[in-house]
Amino acid sequence: MFPDLFRNTLTPLQWTLVALVPPAILALYFLKLKRQPLEVPSTYLWHKSIEDLHVNSLWQRLRKSLLLFLQLLIVFLAIGALLRPGWKSTALEGNRFILLIDNSASMSSIDVEGSRLARAKRLANDIIKKFERDTEAMLVTFAGRPRVVQEFTDNHSLLKQRLDTIQPTAESTELLEALQLADGLANPARIAIEEDGKEYEMTEPLPATVYILSDGRFRKVENFSLGNLQPRFLPIGTPAAENFAVTALSTRRHETRIEERQAFGRILNATGKEAVVTAELFLNGEFLDAKAIKLPAGESSPVLFPLENPQPGSLELRLALAGQRDDLNLDNIGYAAIEPATTGRVLVVSPGNPWLEYVFSTERIRQLATVEFSRPDVLGLEDYRKAVESGLYDLVIFDRCRPAAMPRANTVFFGTLPPSDAWQQMAIQRIEAPLILDWHRSHPVMANVELEAIRIWETAILPMPPGALSLIDAQDGPIAAIAPREQYQDIVLGFATTIDGAEGEGSNTTWPIQNSFPVFWMNTIEYLAGKSEETGVVVHRPGEAVEFAVPQAPEKLNVVAPDGKQWTVHRGKHNLYSFLETGTPGIYEARLANKVVRRIAVNLFDRQESEIRLTQRTTTQDGKEITEITPLEIGFVEVKGMPDWRPTRRELWPWLLCAALAVLGIEWYIYNRRIYL
Partner 1 sequence: MPTSTESSLLPPDLVTRLERLELVTRKIFRGRLKGERRSRRKGQSIEFADFRNYVPGDDIRMIDWNLYARLEKLILKLFLEEEDLHFYSLIDASPSMDFGEPAKLQYAKQLAAALGFIGLIRADRVKIETLGQNPQHRSSALRGRRSVWRMIEQLETIHANEMVTLADGIKNFCLRNRGQGIVVLLSDLLEKTGYESALRYLLSQRMDVYVIHVLSQEELEPEITGDLKLVDCEDADIAEISTSAPLLARYKKTLAAFVSGAQEFCTKRGMNYILVNNQVPVYEFVSSYLRRKGLVR
Please give the residue ranges that form the binding site for partner 1 (CB under 8 A): 32-33, 35-50, 52-53, 63-64, 673-676
Q: Which is nearer to partner 1, 44 or 636 (CB)?
A: 44
Residues ≥6 apart with Cβ < 8 Å to 267 = 244, 245, 246, 247, 277, 279, 293, 295, 300, 301, 303, 319
Q: How far apart are CA 103 and CA 122, in angstroms?
A: 13
When the beta carbons of 48 and 573 are compared against partner 1, the nearer one is: 48
Nearer to partner 1, 537 or 677 (CB): 677
Q: Whole-angstrom Cα distance, residue 443 to residue 489?
A: 13
> For residue 139, how many C-alpha atoms fall within 13 Å in the half-sphere facing its CB?
24
CB of 13 to partner 1, least distance (A): 35
Q: Are 102 and 214 in contact (CB under 8 A)?
A: yes
Residue 37 or 285: the one with the smaller Cβ distance to partner 1 is 37
> Closest CB to partner 1 among 40 and 593?
40
Residue 648 Cβ, how far from partner 1 at the closest point, in Å? 45
CB 173 within 8 A of CB 102: yes
Q: How far is the CB of 41 from partner 1 (least distance, A)?
A: 4
When the beta carbons of 32 and 574 are compared against partner 1, the nearer one is: 32
Contact partners, residue 274, CB within 8 Å, separation at least 6: 294, 295, 296, 297
Smaller CB distance to partner 1: residue 29 or 457? Answer: 29
Least Cβ distance, residue 79 to partner 1 (angstroms): 28
User: By C-alpha distance, which of 106, 114, 109, 103 is closest to 139?
Assistant: 103
Q: What one-character-per-residue DSSP string does 130-191 give?
A: H--TT-EEEEEEESSSEEEEEEEES-HHHHHHHHHT----S----HHHHHHHHHHHHSTT--
Task: Name 138's bridge partners.
Answer: 98
Q: For residues 53 and 513, which CB has a smaller minimum distance to partner 1 in the complex?
A: 53
Nearer to partner 1, 39 or 432 (CB): 39
Nearer to partner 1, 37 or 188 (CB): 37
- Residue 623's SS3 state is coil
Question: What gap in Å lies between CA 67 and CA 252, rounded to an integer?
Answer: 86
Angle in degrees, 0-180, between the axes of helices 21-32 and 66-82, rounded to the nearest 10: 170
Nearest residue (CB) to partner 1, 39 versus 421: 39
Q: How far is the CB of 7 from partner 1 (least distance, A)?
A: 41
Least spacing, CB of residue 47 vs partner 1, in Å:
5
Which runs of E-coded beta strand occur in 339-455? 344-349, 369-374, 395-399, 410-414, 429-432, 436-439
Give the CA distances from residue 258 to residues 253, 307, 581, 662, in Å, rounded to whole numbers and listed in that order: 6, 11, 36, 82
- Provide DSSP, 429-443: EEEESPPEEEE-TTS
Task: Report the nearest approach of partner 1 to the CB of residue 33 (Å).
Answer: 6
What whole-number distance in Å separates Cα of residue 492 and Cα of residue 514? 20
Integer Cα distance of 512 and 453 in angstroms:
11
| Least distance to partner 1, CB of residue 59, Å | 13
Least Å from the CB of residue 28 to partner 1: 13
* Nearest-approach distance from CB 60 to partner 1, in angstroms: 8
Reduced to 3 states (helix: H, G, I; strand: E, B; else coil), residue 75 is: helix
Closest contact distance (angstroms) between CB of 671 and partner 1 is: 9
What is the per-residue DSSP string for 244-287? EEEEEEEEEE-SS-TTEEEEEEEEEEESSS-EEEEEEEEETTEE
